[in-house]
Amino acid sequence: MSSGISRRNILKSLTIGAAATSVLRVIPAQAAEYAHHMIAAEKAATKAYAPKFFNAHDYKTLQALCETIIPADSDSGGAVEAGAPEFIDLLTSENTEYQRIMGGGLLWLDSTCSDRYDKAFLDCSPAQQKEILDKIAYRNNALSDLSLSQGVEFFSFLRNMTADGFFTSEIGIKYLGYIGSAFLKEWPGCPPVPGV
């Protein structure tokens, strides 16, 4: 890392990047590298992950949602074991658009649950949680009930990020059965498979 890079400058360059000409963004390589070192150092020092963006309540809700989207089963652990909440929190802390969707989405979920069930999402019964999630997990529901559309946008975004976090984890890659990134002396080609 070159000298003279301060945390302040990194953060400044990241915000400028987000605001620059519509579709074009810049991630200075040294900023990315700096962020890696920052989080690696923090993880090593504290062991337990301290959320960077979400408050304690929202982070708990996030963890619950991630695990609901990709749960543990007999074949593998789920999204929480895969580190999806940490991954989502890290990226959200660095991106104002993600902050709007994720931060706003969690608040929307709690206030919607509060309206319907008089409780925050985490305090709702499993049946109530399932009821609201079944509403926002499908785009078609927002066509008949416009009040769900923000929830649907949020859940769709969260589902993508949870899948990203799970399927790029060690357990997620093993679950899929990806084999590779190896050093092979010979390339064997396609194994014999009927019809291929």
Q: Does 196 bind another protein (CB under 8 A)?
A: yes
In the complex with another protein, which residue's Cβ is closer, 73 or 118? 73
In angstroms, rounded to a whole number, what is the distance separating the alpha carbons of residues 114 and 117?
5
Task: Extract the tokens encoding 35.
Answer: 């962020």
Q: Rule CB under 8 A: is residue 41 a binding residue for another protein?
A: no
- Residue 1 interacts with another protein (CB under 8 A): yes or no: no
Nearer to another protein among residue 19 and residue 146 (C-beta): 19
| Cα of 127 vs its chain's centroid, Å | 24
Q: Which of 19, 44, 45, 184 binds another protein (CB under 8 A)?
A: 184
Residues 6+ apart with CB under 8 A from 67: 78, 79, 80
Among 44, 54, 109, 133, smallest CA distance to 86 is for 54
Q: Could you say which of 53, 54, 59, 87 contacts another protein (CB under 8 A)?
A: 87
Report the nearest approach of another protein to the CB of residue 73 (Å). Answer: 5
Q: Binding to another protein by residue 39, rule CB under 8 A?
A: yes
Q: Should residue 98 be labelled a site residue for another protein when binding is judged by CB under 8 A?
A: yes
CB of 148 to another protein, least distance (A): 13
Identity of the residue numbered 177: G
Alpha carbons 170 and 149: distance in angstroms, whole number: 34
Closer of 114 and 156 to another protein (Cβ):
156
Residues from 116 through 175 that contact another protein (CB under 8 A): 133, 137-139, 156, 159-160, 163-170, 172-173, 175
Question: Which of 5, 9, 81, 91 touches another protein by CB under 8 A?
Answer: 91
The residue from 31, 124, 132, 148 that contacts another protein (CB under 8 A) is 31
Q: For 77, phi and psi rounded to 5 degrees?
A: -70, 180
Q: Please, which residue, 6 or 118, has the CB nearer to another protein? A: 6
- Structure-token pair, residue 9: 């400058």
What DSSP string describes 150-175?
A: HHHHHHHHHHHHHHHHHHTSHHHHHH
